[in-house]
Amino acid sequence: MNSFDYTGKTALVTGASSGMGREFARQLAARGAALILIARSEAKLQALAAELVRKHGVSVTVIVQDLAKSEAIPHIAARLETLRHYPDVLINCAGFATYGPFEKLSIDRQRDEINLNCLAPVELTHAMLPGMLQKGFGVIINVASTAAMQPDPYMAIYGATKAFLLSFSNALWGEYRSKGIRVLALCPGATDTAFFDVVNADEASVGKRMPADKVVAQALQAVDTNRNTLIAGFGNWLLGQLHRFVTRQRLVLIVEKILRPRSA
- Residues 233 and 213 sit within 8 Å (Cβ to Cβ): no
- Residues 142 and 93 sit within 8 Å (Cβ to Cβ): no
> pLDDT digit string (tens) for 107-131?
999 999 999 999 999 999 999 999 9
Task: Return the pLDDT at 194.
Answer: 55
Averaged pLDDT for residues 199-219 = 75
Averaged pLDDT for residues 25-37 = 98
User: Is position 260 within any domain?
Assistant: no
Task: Return the pLDDT at 197.
Answer: 52
Q: What is the pTM of this model?
A: 0.91
- Return d(Cα 136, Cα 184) in angstroms, integer: 17
Which amino acid, residue 192?
A: D
Task: Return the pLDDT at 201.
Answer: 54
Which amino acid, residue 220?
A: L
In degrees to the nearest 10, what's the CA dihedral of 76, 29, 195, 65?
-20
User: Is position 262 within any domain?
Assistant: no
Which helix or strand (DSSP H or E) is residue 186 part of?
Answer: strand 181-187
The question of whether 86 is a catalytic residue gets the answer no
Q: How many CB atoms lie within 10 A of CB 251?
A: 17
Task: Return the pLDDT at 233.
Answer: 76
Which amino acid, residue 68?
A: A
> pLDDT digit string (tens) for 213-230?
999 999 999 999 999 999
> pLDDT digit string (tens) for 125-174?
999 999 999 999 999 999 999 999 999 999 999 999 999 999 999 999 99
Is a pLDDT exceeding 70 seen at residue 232? yes
User: Is position 261 within any domain?
Assistant: no
User: Is position 36 within any domain?
Assistant: yes
- Residues 120 and 94 sit within 8 Å (Cβ to Cβ): yes
Catalytic choice (6, 99, 154, 158): 158
Return the percentage of the chain with pLDDT > 90, whole number.
Answer: 78
User: Is position 43 within any domain?
Assistant: yes
User: Is position 205 within any domain?
Assistant: yes
**85 — pLDDT class (breaks 50, 70, 90):** confident
**210 — pLDDT class (breaks 50, 70, 90):** confident
Residue 23 class from Cβ within 10 Å (0-12 exposed, 13-18 middle, 19+ buried)? Answer: buried
- Return d(Cα 69, Cα 3) in angstroms, integer: 36
Which helix or strand (DSSP H or E) is residue 63 part of?
Answer: strand 60-64
- Return d(Cα 147, Cα 52) in angstroms, integer: 32
Averaged pLDDT for residues 85-107 = 96
Q: What is the CATH number of the domain that holds 61?
A: 3.40.50.720
User: Is position 251 within any domain?
Assistant: no
Q: What HEC string does 247-263 produce?
A: CHHHHHHHHHHHHCCCC
What's the number of domains the chain is made of?
1
**Cβ-Cβ contacts under 8 Å for 199 (sequence gap 6 or more):** 96, 97, 98, 99, 205
Range of the domain at 95: 10-244
Q: How many CB atoms lie within 10 A of CB 164?
A: 19
Which helix or strand (DSSP H or E) is residue 49 part of?
Answer: helix 42-56
User: Is position 249 within any domain?
Assistant: no
